Structure 1
Amino acid sequence: MGSIAVSSAELLQAEADIIRHSVGYLKSIALHCAVKLGIPDALHRCGGSASLAQLLAALPVPLPPTKQPYLSRLMKVLAMEGVFVASASGDDDVYHLNTMSRLLLEGGMSPCVMLSTTPQFIGSAMRLGQWFLSEGEEATAFMMANGGQIPHDTGAHDVEFNSVFNQAMAADSRHLADLVVRECVEVFKGIGSLVDVAGGTGTMARAIAKAFPHVKCCVLDLPHVIQDISPAPAPALADNNNVQFIAGDMMEFIPPADAILLKYVLHNWTDDDCVKILTRCREAIISQHGTAAAGNGKNGKVVIIDAVVGAPSPGVDVLQTQLLMDMEMMSLFMAKERYEHEWSKIFMEAGFTNYKIQSTLGLRSVIELYI
């Protein structure tokens, strides 16, 4: 321990903290179990509150009798972590939905939990120590854990993982879409067309098209992502909600439009790749508007929804989440969450000279990027 005098109380607290951090992964697994067992929806069916007995009866798949006594231990952990609220009623504990667990109801953010706790994601996190010791930058921790494949390749070859991934992206977009169209109305003023780059199954684009009928929306994504949206084999697939789907690679070409949307895209990529993507975005805007851009969005812009770490002055929980997300990006893609000065650097390298940041979406900000 060195020569620094440490009290018994400090030692015991440090011991407890080390153990708590060492088994912290069980918080993620407990949350995974809650979604897997359908606990949030079961509580919802009970009116938002239930005793353990009522909860057991409401689960979509009954637990074997030998496992039922253990549910209380899972619920205590989840309540301690704030996922549910616990209260005493006589000799029984009663559990209640709160804002967090309501986000896990069907149609909410449960798929995001299931993606973060897939064997592929957890396995990549377990390889981080090995990754730090490895020479070169050829392989990510994800690749080490998944036979050399990158996440996009895994999605192309693993139907189950691809389904979980697409469901998670759609769930995140549903959750975010309501906030975006409510809090960011000014962003979409004066826009006649928009390309949602890597827009998945089109959840965000549909929400924008519905909220702003004057905006013609298009989704660009890889063929295996949009292949199930329509059986038509043509590259461009018409959708019944003013949204068109185009199979393509954003590294090669982005269709011209007034606005290019990058929602949670750039944090998946290295700085060099981000410059390539943003260069394609700039080319798409110039193709639509010509080179006489005004620098204020009137002649087209890129709209980025992503984290700006530490902006403007987040609480401890938000900052901790952003830093944990940064580690996840490092393990999956060797990419990162960025501070404002890091964003500014790649903007300038891609040929953009002006931008505006609105920190209105909690963990995420809205960046309007102008030529």
Structure 2
Amino acid sequence: MLDPWQNMSKWLQNENDINPFQTTHGKMAYELAVEDPKLYQSINEGMASDGRLVASVILKHCKGIFEELDSVVDVGGGTGEEREDYSLTSASRLLLKEDPLNITPLFLVFLDPIMLDPWQNMSKWLQNENDINPFQTTHGKMAYELAVEDPKLYQSINEGMASDGRLVASVILKHCKGIFEELDSVVDVGGGTGNFCKVHCGSFSQS
């Protein structure tokens, strides 16, 4: 169950797998459990213990929601019941490629080993008076300096900043549109695509 966390980056770049577990093991957890009796038992026992905790909390604080029900079905924990019933949260939808505010490129930047390695050197950085941040301690230079030398990293950072710009611009223009009404000009810095300005022009088409 822990190995999939090491493959988050691969999963985000894979259009076919439902989750990191499938990317890592080639199948879903319930499919693997059918083939592995020990894993099957472990999952069922975990679901059962979790069910007891959840049920006790619900019945203590939200007992009224059951008073008008005629029946309740307990799904999982070895009961043999199967049901596919789920939906994406608002945050999860931002990882869908078809979502106009998709920020997957930004997550791919954060999950790149080049960006993750500095976290292993936090202690060294805190003992170093010369380096500005852990990235410099790890790689000997700042991120933008390294990006100039690495075209792939350069493109990845630009795409990440562009996707972040779309999301930030849409939120700002939706909730704080008034702050732009008295401005004569706006400069979009970073990302290389002008996404912020594009969103801004769409909201102030008369400008």
Distance in 2 of aligned mates of 1:164 and 1:153: 14
Question: 1:131 aligned to 2:122?
Answer: no
Alignment counterpart, residue 105 of structure 1, candidates 93, 96, 105:
96
Amino acid of the structure 2 residue aligned with 1:121: M
Query: 5+ unaligned residues in a row in structure 1: which ranges?
Result: 1-22, 44-51, 57-62, 77-86, 216-371
2:130 partner amino acid: E
The structural deviation recorded for 1:102 is 1.0
Quick one: structure 1 residues 138 and 145, their matched pair in 2 at CA, closer, same or farther if it must change by over 3 Å? closer
CA shift, 1:181, in A, is 1.6
Q: Aligned partners of 2:206, 2:84: CA distance in 1, in Å? A: 52
Q: Distance in 2 between matches of 1:34 and 1:100?
A: 17
Take 2:5 and 2:26, find their aligned partners in 1: how far apart are those partners? Answer: 21
Aligned pair count?
157
Structure 1 pair 145–95 and aligned structure 2 pair: CA distance change class (3 A): farther
Counterpart amino acid of 2:105? P
- Alpha-carbon offset, residue 94 of structure 1: 5.7
Q: Which residue of 2 aligns with 1:72?
A: 29
* Alignment match, 1:141: 134
Residues 9 and 112, structure 2, Cα contact 8 Å, conserved in 1? no
Q: Which amino acid aligns with 1:113?
A: F
- 1:112 is displaced (CA, Å) by 1.5
Matches within 5 A, 1:32-181: 32-38=9-15, 67-69=25-27, 71-72=28-29, 90-91=81-82, 96-106=87-97, 107=100, 108-134=102-128, 136-138=129-131, 140-146=133-139, 148-181=140-173
CA contact (8 A) 1:127 1:141 kept: yes
Among residues 173, 184, 188, which one is paired with 2:180 in the alignment? 188
Check conservation: 1:28, 1:117, Cα contact below 8 A.
no
Distance 1:68 1:199, change over 3 A: closer
Matches within 5 A, 1:315-334: none
C-alpha change, 1:199 and 1:158, in structure 2 (3 Å) is closer
- RMSD over aligned CA atoms reads 3.5
Structure 1 residue ranges (4+ consecutive) displaced by more than 3 angstroms after TM superposition: 26-34, 91-96, 197-200
Q: Give the share of equivalent positions with the same residue, in percent.
A: 20
Q: Residues 209 and 93 (structure 1 numbering): CA distance in 2 closer, same or farther, change over 3 Å?
A: closer
**Contact 1:124 1:144 survives alignment (8 Å):** yes
Aligned counterparts, 1:1-371, within 5 A: 29=6, 31-38=8-15, 67-69=25-27, 71-72=28-29, 90-91=81-82, 96-106=87-97, 107=100, 108-134=102-128, 136-138=129-131, 140-146=133-139, 148-198=140-190, 200-215=192-207
Relative contact order, higher structure (CA 8 A, sep 6+): 2
Deviation at 1:93, TM superposition (A): 6.1
Q: CA deviation at 1:29?
A: 4.2
In the alignment, the residues of structure 2 paired with residue 192 and residue 131 of structure 1 have an alpha-carbon distance, to the nearest angstrom, of 43
Letter in 2 for 1:110: T
Per the alignment, residue 357 of structure 1 pairs with none
Higher helix share: 2
Amino acid at match of 1:204: F
Q: CA offset at residue 116 of structure 1? A: 0.7
Shift of 1:160: 1.0
Q: TM-score, normalised by structure 2?
A: 0.61
The two structures have a TM-score, normalised by structure 1, of 0.36
Deviation at 1:194?
A: 1.7
